[in-house]
Structure 1
Amino acid sequence: MNSLAEPRKWEKIFWPLLVSALLLAAWHYCVIWTGTKIFPSPLEVERGMAELIRENVLWRDIADSLRRVAIGFGAASVLGIPLGLVLGWYPEADHVINPVMQILRPISPIAWIPVAIIFFGVGDDAAIFLIFLGAFFPIVVACIDGVSNVPSVYRRAGRNFGLSPQQLLTKVVFPAALPQIIVGLRIALGIAWLVVVAAEMIAVDSGLGYLVIDSRNSGKRYDLVVAAMLLIGVIGLALDLCFRRSEKIKSVRWGFRNEA
């Protein structure tokens, strides 16, 4: 059994590295084959990224983007989770508010950029507001669905043990809905990272999104543009992996708690 398990762990590292190497090789030879002078090769992107690091620009932009996502996503979680739990717990309230949510939810956060600039001006507040909008609705919907999908037998069992409605919601329904809520938070975090890049292209003068548009406008530095794009993808992957890891840790701890 051990001999079968070890290659699987090794393959988890080998195959992604192999695919990445093949993509880099294909990128390099496509640039040579087309003879383009505009789109950069991997080596040019590497030199551009080294230039950004030497000029101490890259780390500040990364920090600004992460800070905006943390504030916007955090605010959406603090407000969205309680609201979603309440709406899922009280279907009558959900029937009243749901039409308004269904009207606002499909509107892309990018479409809110002119409104955000009118309300907050050009700066961090506008970008954070857009991130908040992008993350808020997925969190609320995930919480509503999570509470609504909890089997009714759980609620009846809690009432039989004499739990109050508040205790039933916090000690029975919320833990049962937690896996679906975590999935909603993960989706919302991905949306928040997408929105911050778009918002930084218009509403602020720092961050990875601003780096993309500024590199394009100032001298058509497409090596820096592609470098920033790759960083956006790598950081997005890192955020998703961190969230998955924390999700597994929470699931394991919750399993031990239930067994106890």
Structure 2
Amino acid sequence: MKRAGYVALGVLLLIAVWQTVFVIGGYDASLFPPPGSVARGIAELVTDGTLAGHMRISLFRFAAGYVTASAAAVGLGLLLGQLPRVWKTIDPIVQVIRPVSPIAWSPFIVLWFGIGNTPAIVIIFLAAFFPVLLSTVSGMRKVDPIHVKLARNLEMKRSAFVTRIVLPSAFPTIANGLHIAIGTSWIFLVSGEMVGAQSGLGYLIVDSRNTLRLDLVMSGIVCIGLFGLLLDRLVGLFESWVGRHWGASGR
């Protein structure tokens, strides 16, 4: 309850600053929409079903890219974390590819996968994969070597070793990567939809800009921020659930 109160207070403060800048700056509402105009724009998008349609498509693309990237990165990271010599060979390659923006790959992605949902999903996958991979490998290094030797001496099964020793020790670090990946993949989802998609929140912003409806542009931006916050909170709930299930430290 206290957290919800702080969130509401932060939102009210942001709206107050926004309105103050609009009034003091003397901006035209068509160039810098005030909170009231944006609220009416959101109501318009909700009423005619436009927001629900674009949001549904964006969330599908995000879920497909983020979940597959997280699963692949955690699995590969758990494996590479146990093979330090292999990781030392692969790490320079990862460090070269990781800083490249997924949008830089968009010309090749469009050529290889065409236009539609797949290019956006691939961009999200690239944005989420590397933060989760690096955090998983880093988390593996925090597993107590004594626990590893004890598990080997007891001939513990691989599944029990992972769920009872590795994940409780490594999960807090992995969770940091999951949180970072939420932000980066959501950002690049919108960017990807601005490039070649014909639907989604990114397309909504571009289409509204082309029709000079900056109130709808700002409405799309507000919705992107709010849903990004919601997604981050959902990952926090997942982290807490895993913490209770495996004994890792939650939030």
SS at match of 1:32: helix
Q: 1:98-144: CA deviations, max 9, x gaps? A: 22111111111121111211211222111111000001111111111
Q: Choose from 91, 102, 125 the match for 2:84.
A: 91
Select which of 154, 157, 165 maps to 1:161.
154
Distance 1:194 1:164, change over 3 A: same
- Is 1:221 matched up with 2:213? yes
Q: 1:127 to 1:158 in 2, by over 3 A?
A: same
SS in 2 for 1:39: coil
Indicate yes or no: 2:244 matched with 1:244.
Answer: no
Name the SS for the 1:107 alignment partner.
coil
Q: C-alpha distance in 1, partners of 2:165/2:118?
A: 37
Report the count of equivalent residues: 246
Q: In the superposition, relative to structure 1, how do residues 60 and 171 fare at CA in structure 2: closer, same or farther (>3 Å)?
A: same
Q: How does 1:71-220 map to 2 (within 5 A)?
A: 71-163=64-156, 168-169=161-162, 171-218=164-211, 220=212
Change (3 A) 1:34 1:152: same
Is the contact made by 1:124 and 1:203 (CA closer than 8 Å) also made in structure 2? no
* Counterpart for residue 50 of structure 1: 43
Paired residues of 1:143 and 1:177 also in contact (CA < 8 A): yes
What does residue 12 of structure 2 align with? 21
Q: Partners of 1:24 and 1:209 in 2: how far apart?
A: 23
Normalised to the residue count of structure 1, the TM-score between the two structures is 0.87
Cα 1:164–1:30 change in 2 (3 A) is closer
Cα distance in 1 for partners of 2:171, 2:247 equals 12
Kept in 1, the 8 Å contact 2:168–2:243? The answer is no
Q: Which structure would you say has the larger Rg?
A: 1
User: Cα RMSD over matched residues?
Assistant: 1.9
Determine if contact 2:142/2:169 at 8 Å carries over to the other structure: no
Given the two structures, how large is their TM-score scaled by the length of structure 2? 0.90
Q: Residue type of the partner of 2:183?
A: G
C-alpha spacing 1:170/1:252, structure 2 compared with 1 (3 Å): closer
Give the aligned residue type for 1:215.
S
Equivalents in 1 of 2:51, 2:4: separation in Å? 27
Structure 1 runs not aligned, ≥5 long: 1-8
**Could you tell me which of 7, 25, 30 is aligned with 2:21?**
30
Closer/same/farther in 2, CA of residues 19 and 183 from structure 1, 3 Å limit: closer
Q: Is the 8 A contact 2:77 2:133 kept in 1?
A: yes
Q: Taking structure 1 as reference, are residues 77 and 22 closer, same or farther at Cα in structure 2, changes over 3 Å only? A: closer
SS in structure 2 of the partner of residue 201 of structure 1: helix
Letter paired with 2:196:
A
Cα deviation, 1:62-118, whole Å, max 9, x if unaligned, reads 111110010001211232111111110111211222221111111111211112112
What is the one-letter code of the residue matched to 1:251?
Answer: G
Distance 1:84-1:111 versus aligned 2 partners, 3 A rule: same
Matched-pair contact (CA < 8 Å) for 1:61–1:208:
yes
Report the CA distance shift for 1:123/1:161 in structure 2 as closer, same or farther (over 3 A): same
One-letter amino acid of the structure 2 residue matched with residue 138 of structure 1: P
Does the CA-based 8 Å contact 1:146-1:181 persist in structure 2? yes
Instruction: Report if the CA contact (8 A) 2:127-2:185 is conserved.
Output: yes
Task: Give the Cα–Cα distance (whole angstroms) in 2 for the partners of residues 93 and 244 of structure 1.
Answer: 32
